[in-house]
Amino acid sequence: MIKISDSILNLKPYVPGKSIEEVQREYGLTDVIKLASNENPLGPSPKVMAAITKSVPEIHRYPDGSYYSLKNALAPYFGVAQNRLSCGNGSNELIDLIIRIFCEPGSSILISQASFVAYKVCAHASRVSVTEVPMKRDFSVDIDTLLKAWTPQHKAIFLPNPNNPTGLYINSANILKVLDFAKNKDVLVVIDEAYVEFIRAKDYPQTLELQKKYPNLIVLRTMAKAYGLAGLRLGVMFAEPEIIGIVERVRNPFNVNLLVVEAAKAAIQDKDYISRSQKVVWDGLDYFYEAFSQMGLFYCPSQGNFVFFDTGRDSELIFEQMLRQGVILRPLKNYGFPTQIRISVGLPNENEKAIKCLKAIL
Ligand X SMILES: *Cc1c(COP(=O)(O)O)cnc(C)c1O
Burial of 203: CB neighbours in 10 Å, binned 0-12, 13-18, 19+: exposed
| Cα–chain center distance at 236 | 12
CA distance 239 to 217: 7
Q: Binding mask 298-337 vs ligand X (x if CB under 6 A, - otherwise)?
A: ----------------------------------------
CA distance 147 to 180: 11
Of the ranges 6-14, 27-35, 60-68, 222-230, which one interacts with ligand X (CB under 6 A)?
A: 222-230
- Minimum CB distance to ligand X, residue 114 (Å): 12
Nearer to ligand X, 164 or 311 (CB): 164
- Minimum CB distance to ligand X, residue 14 (Å): 10
Q: How many residues bind ligand X (CB under 6 A)?
A: 13
Nearer to ligand X, 158 or 357 (CB): 158
- Minimum CB distance to ligand X, residue 39 (Å): 9
Closest CA to 112 of 128, 93, 130, 138: 130
Q: End-to-end CA distance of the chain, in Å?
A: 50
Nearer to ligand X, 166 or 325 (CB): 166
Among 73, 146, 224, 285, binds ligand X (CB under 6 A): 224
Nearer to ligand X, 143 or 232 (CB): 232
- Minimum CB distance to ligand X, residue 2 (Å): 30
- Minimum CB distance to ligand X, residue 147 (Å): 21
- Minimum CB distance to ligand X, residue 27 (Å): 26
Nearer to ligand X, 194 or 322 (CB): 194
119 is an interface residue for ligand X by CB under 6 A: no
228 is an interface residue for ligand X by CB under 6 A: no
Among 32, 34, 36, 38, binds ligand X (CB under 6 A): 38
| 66-105 residues near ligand X, rule: CB under 6 A | 90-92
Among 108, 222, 255, 302, binds ligand X (CB under 6 A): 222
Nearer to ligand X, 90 or 326 (CB): 90
Nearer to ligand X, 142 or 192 (CB): 192
Nearer to ligand X, 192 or 310 (CB): 192
192 is an interface residue for ligand X by CB under 6 A: yes
Cis peptide before 162 (omega within 30 of 0): yes
44 is an interface residue for ligand X by CB under 6 A: no
Q: Binding mask 131-170 vs ligand X (x if CB under 6 A, - otherwise)?
A: -----------------------------x---x------
On whether the CB atoms of residues 342 and 333 are closer than 8 A, the answer is: no
Contacting residues toward ligand X, per CB under 6 A: 38, 90-92, 116, 160, 164, 192, 194, 222, 224, 230, 235
